[in-house]
Amino acid sequence: MRRPGLSRREFLGIAGMTAGALALGGCGPFSGGGRDLPGSPQARRTGETREHLLRAAPLEFEAGGQRLLTWGYEGDVPGPEIRLKEDDTLRVRLRNELPEETTIHWHGLPVPNAMDGVPGVTQRPISPGEEFVYGFVVPVAGTYIHHSHVGLQLDRGLYGALIVEPAKENLDYDREYTLVLDDWLAGAGGTPEDALRRLRDSGGMMGGSMGGDLEYPLYLANGRPPEDPATFEVRRGKRVRLCLVNPSAETVFRFAAGGHRLTVTHADGQPVEPVTVNVLRIGMGERYDVVFEADNPGVHQLTAAPEGKGAWPAPSCATGRIPRARRPLQTSCPKSSETGSSPTPN
């Protein structure tokens, strides 16, 4: 079986992404002779072993009133969220049911080089019908992404959130939710490979700006379009933590929680000095953890607006009602969003 000839990195480069804008550049190969990444935390096998099966296969799902044919893990987009604790051992059996080779990369997580999932560099790609077991001790807590590292497979839907809880939690919150944001082509506007060919035929460069070079037919949050938003249950007075993940191809999202300010506690898996903002800009491959107090009764939008996308199409979002009485959060979705400038902390 031939290896796919279209590289996601090439796709982003042709779309006009600069090296500084390429957040997913952190996925690049590291030639370390089989050793751990330099400066990575020392892994200690003190926790439990968490085992998962991920089947990479073609699938069909519905979004925006369309039945979309694409690829994914375990029959869904995003794939399953993998959750474990710091110092646990993760064992993932990847079964390749695709028509081409594949791998898994653990975006942002320091792992042994042989487990890093870069085809032809750190491992032999997994052929159709084959399996491969990834196994390593998870040395650090944080919000990460697991995704294919072959061609443009990530953009077809082969990704999911990877949440590593700290051995001792120092952050105070009552509820936690994960939001995975994406720009979407596969099955709705051709395939990512079709888009790459169009970019090549057009001369390659399309404006050279950070994001905004392609117009996407869909923007998704947890695999769902704005007219069918995710639902989160929150009660008044509770402290909510959101793990925000952007595995999109080339879209920067501006995220806000209507009626509430967000306190950023972690960036790309690492704790930071807390800063409170009205709007948070999330680039490709980036992850942020934020908390907010559900102390403002009424109907509020969780909005992820794609930056620089022409007429600002309806954003991927979840929206909710924080009731005055003890009733669960309800959701709906806006049809437009304010455009505003990049956030500045106050």
Higher-pLDDT residue of 235 and 339 is: 235
Exposed/middle/buried for residue 341 (C-beta within 10 Å: 0-12, 13-18, 19+): exposed
Sign of the C-alpha dihedral, residues 104, 59, 5, 10? negative
pTM of the entire predicted model:
0.79
Q: What is the model's pLDDT at position 25?
A: 28
pLDDT at position 54 over 80 = yes
Q: How confident is the model at residue 341 (pLDDT cuts 50, 70, 90)?
A: very low
Q: Where are the beta strands (DSSP E) in 185-236?
A: 218-221
Q: What is the pLDDT of residue 203?
A: 64
pLDDT for 16 equals: 37
Asked whether the beta carbons of 127 and 121 are under 8 A apart, the reply is: no
- Contacts with 33 (C-beta within 8 Å, 6 or more apart), sequence order: 113
Question: What type of residue is 64?
Answer: G
User: What DSSP state is assigned to residue 19?
Assistant: T
14-28, 215-229, 273-287: range with lowest mean pLDDT: 14-28
Residue 198 has pLDDT above 50, yes or no: yes
**Residue 257 to residues 148, 231, 304, Cα–Cα distance (Å):** 31, 14, 9
Mean pLDDT computed over every residue of the chain: 79
